[in-house]
Amino acid sequence: MMQAMKHFLKIIVLVLASCALATGCVSKYKKVSASNFVIESIVPTSLRSCTVNVAVDIDNPAPAFKLKDIEATVKRGGEVFGLVTADPVALDGKCTRTYRIPLQAQLAEGIGVIQLLTVYKSFNPDDFTLDLKARANVAGNVGKDIEYVDVPLSKFVKK
C-alpha cells in the first residue's frame, strides 16, 4: 500500500513538473516576433494572381516549430481585396534569422486589374487590414491555431 502511494506521488510530481515546463515554453512562444518585412520580388502568375517573395526577420526565443495552413485575407475599407497563402515554414529555435518566404497572392472576386492599378498609383498601407490565420506545430500534430483580425497592413509595409 505504501509503495503504491509513493508511486502515485511520483506520478503527480512528474505531471506537475511537466505542466510547469510546458507553461514556461508557452510563454517563450508568445515572445516570437517578426520585423523588417521586405518585399523582394513580385512575379505575376496570371492576370489575377502573383507570387510575392518576402524576407522577414523572425526572433524565436522558443524551441523550433513549424507554421502551416498560413492564410491571410487582405481587406480595404472592410471589403475583401485579396487572399494570400504560403507553404509551411519551419522556424529554427532560439535564434534570430531572416526567412525568405514565397507568398501566393490572388485578387478577390469582383476586384479587377483596373482597381489594382488605381490602388498601386495611390497606395497607402493605412487603407488596408489583414486577417491572419496559421497553425503552429511543435511536434507532429501538437500545436495551436493562431488568428489575428484586422491587423493594419502598415504594421508590415512601409510607405
Q: From 1.10.20, 2.60.40, 2.30.30, 2.40.160, which CATH number describes the 32-155 domain?
A: 2.60.40
Phi then psi for residue 28, to 5 deg, are: -70, -40
Taking the chain, what is the end-to-end CA distance rounded to the nearest angstrom? 72
pTM: 0.74
Nearest residue to 43 (alpha-carbon basis) of 87, 85, 86, 103: 103
Grouping H, G, I as helix, E, B as strand and the rest as coil, residue 18 is: helix
pLDDT one digit per residue (tens) for the chain, 159 residues:
444 444 344 444 444 344 334 444 556 777 888 877 788 888 989 888 889 888 889 999 988 889 899 999 999 888 999 999 999 999 998 999 999 999 999 999 988 878 877 877 788 888 889 899 998 888 777 778 888 899 888 876 654
**Domain regions of the chain by residue span:** 1-30, 32-155
